[in-house]
Chains A and B, each alone.
Chain A
Amino acid sequence: MKIIREPVFAGIDVGSLTAKAVLVDKGGILSHAIIDTGANPEKAGKTVFDKALGKAGYRREEVRQIVGTGYGRVSLSFVDKAITELTCHAKGVRYLNRGIMTVIDIGGQDSKVIRLNRDGSMADFAMNDRCAAGTGRFLEVMARALEVGLEELGRISLRSRKPSLINSMCTVFAESEVISLLASGEEKEDVAAGLHLGIAKRVGNLAKRLGIKERVGFVGGVAKNKGLRDALESFLGIGFAPIVEDPQITGALGAAVLASETHG
């Protein structure tokens, strides 16, 4: 007996640090996968796509339409269309929570603030793509300086009573500042909390400059960091809207949703 399945659509988001894939059909999300991008974005895109296919039990040929996004979108030869992560995050977040009007995305190498129109399309955006300050890469370097895992960074910072003052948000200078703070006896949790405050201020000001409209969704790999999330909420004086899925996959999810829409 042959089972007739709904048409399937895929979104592949190849970022600077991680590659994400999401499969959807008209009923919702079928599967998702996340891997490290490594040095070859095309290969990472294919691998993460296959991984998501495997989880959902589909073959490549069964996917009706694929949209690529993320900085690696231009290197993906197997996608039907490339759309920027700005539009994709807007779409993905809206798919998960219809009340969201502003998206803050902190990824591996940049941070973005996106304001949405009522129909879920992008109204305006602001980006910090000049340097690694406040990005996933920045947090990786700081976690290493603190000798903790990246996931631990958020958790330990929540214990802090007296966040350290970090003067520089430049990845290079902040790293040496962290090392000297530790040498002068500051607690790891205080240094971690201080780093989060610094990032919150930087990204928060980018958002304020663009203008925030509630509700606000916080996404990207860095949104998994609870310490930073709290710091950003308190800097902006708001609570983020709940997002039921992993915040790291909203770009790939938006790409998959766009794939299903462009297909009609």
Chain B
Amino acid sequence: MELKQDKTIGEVRTDVALDIEIAKEKGAKVVGCLCSYFPQEMVLASGAISVGLCGTTEERIELAEEILPADQCPMVKATYGRAISGTCLLFPLADCIVGETTCDGRKKMYELMSREKPMHVMELPQMPDEKEALVHWTAEVRKLKSFIEYHVGEEITDKGLRNAIKQINEERRLLKEIHRCRRYHPVPIMGLDLVGLSTMFSYSVNREIYRKQLTMLLEELKQRIAREEFACSPERPRILWTGLGNSLGCDKVLRLVEECGGVVVCQEGCGGITRIEDMVDEEKDPLEAIAERYLRVTCSCMTPNTRRFEDIDRLISEYSIQGVIDLTWQSCHTFNIESYRVGELVKGKYGLPFLHVVTDFSQSDIGQLRVRVEGFLEQITLGNKDASHKCLQC
């Protein structure tokens, strides 16, 4: 299996749009989703197809800015741009859309987006460790169930939910194993290639095919490790990615890091391992188990966001990390402020180079970003001579 993926996100979406159209002709319903907090199991249990509708490219931002202020998060603008452009192939296929009150930009944009499609917004509690949070969130998950049942026209049973939990947990287990292959040094796959492949696979309409693709990728990685066939030289600094910007389409900085001689060996957060390794409990009441699992997602909209720091702390040692990059989209206040604490942890506890990048989806700042990224990599390769790199065997 080739460990490269040359399709753009636009091409990937075009392919899946065709598959969805075929499925819709046979009577399938489609639920559009927008966030890691969205419990996908609910859609699977209803027999519908879920499709991600977040904007990750700049081309529809201009249109969105006719309505939204320009100084907003690029993801908020790009997502709204997809909804109103009439040129996004996927958006019109959704029968309904579900969002969450993660941040102010999103929730106010959703008020406008709800003019385009039937939309349900889940109210996300933002102090996840308070005991009331789970009670409230469980009620929100229950409300979501009724919304999906109504729009899909199917009842969601406990049996259906249990089955969906098992299926999606299995996908998570495969993905987790795939990501953990990157603990080897040197890595069997470049960060950009894994981002490309996993984004493309995740757009599968047929979950059986999705699991097959993941199994094949995992097998390939294991074989490459056994054959000692690595993706790059051992000299490349091993980078932990945190924050945003590690999915196909909005990967410009990640691409730059690997162009400039680094290798991203682990991603925390959306698109990364911490959204995968957390399973839904298969023993508990399914709806409650789903609520618990999704409230544990570590977005910076949560306060305090304790688990994110525990994750980063653990991943630095697990993946033999030599430097950490934290990417924030412009105007994302929560990730932007939280970055200070990420830097404290990385520099203070581990003495590792840390780079906080604030950017958007455009290419306009690529020259300046190159200086920062190269400077950051030079901190690892030219400085810090005492910190010897440990080769990890797992």
Interface stretch of the complex, out of B32-40, B130-138, B180-188, B372-380: B372-380
| B371 at interface, CB cutoff 8 A | yes
| Residues B384 and A117 in contact, CB atoms below 8 Å apart | yes
Report the minimal beta-carbon distance from A85 to chain B, rounded to whole angstroms: 7
Contacts of A84 in B (CB 8 A): 371, 374-375, 378
Contacts A71-B367, A117-B384 given; does A122 touch B379 at CB 8 Å = yes
How many chain A residues have a CB neighbour from B under 8 Å?
A: 18
Among B353, B371, B384, which residue has the most Cβ atoms of chain A within 10 A? B371
| B383 at interface, CB cutoff 8 A | yes
| Residues B367 and A125 in contact, CB atoms below 8 Å apart | no
| Further 11 A-B residue pairs, CB within 8 A, beyond A84-B375, A87-B378, A117-B384 | A74-B370, A85-B371, A121-B383, A121-B385, A122-B379, A124-B353, A124-B354, A124-B379, A125-B379, A129-B372, A130-B368
| Cβ-defined partner of B383 (8 Å) among A123, A129, A130 | A123
| B226 at interface, CB cutoff 8 A | no
| B117 at interface, CB cutoff 8 A | no
Contacts A122-B379, A124-B379 given; does A86 touch B385 at CB 8 Å = no
Report the minimal beta-carbon distance from A147 to chain B, rounded to whole angstroms: 32
Contacts A83-B378, A86-B375, A122-B375 given; does A117 touch B383 at CB 8 Å = yes
Mark contacts of A189-216 with chain B using CB atoms, 8 A cut-off: 1 yes-contact digit, 0 otherwise. 0000000000000000000000000000
In chain B, positions 307-356 with a C-beta closer than 8 Å to chain A are 347, 353-354
| Cβ-defined partner of A129 (8 Å) among B354, B368, B374, B385 | B368
Contacts A84-B378, A87-B378, A122-B378 given; does A127 touch B383 at CB 8 Å = no
Q: Once bound together, how far apart are the Cα atoms of A88 and B385, in whole Å? A: 17
| B382 at interface, CB cutoff 8 A | yes
Q: Once bound together, how far apart are the Cα atoms of A123 and B378, in whole Å? A: 10
| Residues B371 and A87 in contact, CB atoms below 8 Å apart | no
Q: In chain B, what residue has the closest Cβ to A83?
A: B378
Q: Could you tell me the dominant secondary structure of chain B's interface residues?
A: helix
Mark contacts of A62-87 with chain B using CB atoms, 8 A cut-off: 1 yes-contact digit, 0 otherwise. 00000000010010000000011111
Q: In chain A, what residue has the closest Cβ to B370?
A: A74
| Residues B379 and A123 in contact, CB atoms below 8 Å apart | yes
| A61 at interface, CB cutoff 8 A | no
Q: Once bound together, how far apart are the Cα atoms of A124 and B383, in whole Å? A: 10
Contacts of B382 in A (CB 8 A): 83, 87, 121-122
Q: Once bound together, how far apart are the Cα atoms of A119 and B379, in whole Å? A: 12
Pull 5 A–B residue pairs with CB atoms less than 8 Å apart, ordered by A.
A71-B371, A119-B383, A122-B375, A124-B379, A125-B375
Contacts of A122 in B (CB 8 A): 375, 378-379, 382-383
In chain A, positions 81-128 with a C-beta closer than 8 Å to chain B are 83-87, 110, 117, 119, 121-125, 127
Q: In chain A, what residue has the closest Cβ to B343?
A: A124
Q: Once bound together, how far apart are the Cα atoms of A84 and B385, in whole Å? A: 18
Q: Once bound together, how far apart are the Cα atoms of A85 and B370, in whole Å? A: 12
Q: Once bound together, how far apart are the Cα atoms of A122 and B347, in whole Å? A: 13
Report the minimal beta-carbon distance from B299 to chain A, rounded to whole angstroms: 25
Q: Once bound together, how far apart are the Cα atoms of A84 and B347, in whole Å? A: 21
| Cβ-defined partner of A119 (8 Å) among B374, B375, B385 | B385
Contacts of A117 in B (CB 8 A): 383-384
| Residues B368 and A110 in contact, CB atoms below 8 Å apart | yes
| Residues A86 and B378 in contact, CB atoms below 8 Å apart | yes
A-B pairs with lowest CB-CB distance, top 6: A121-B383, A86-B375, A129-B368, A84-B375, A87-B378, A84-B374
Contacts of B375 in A (CB 8 A): 84, 86-87, 122, 125
Mark contacts of B353-367 with chain A using CB atoms, 8 A cut-off: 1 yes-contact digit, 0 otherwise. 110000000000101
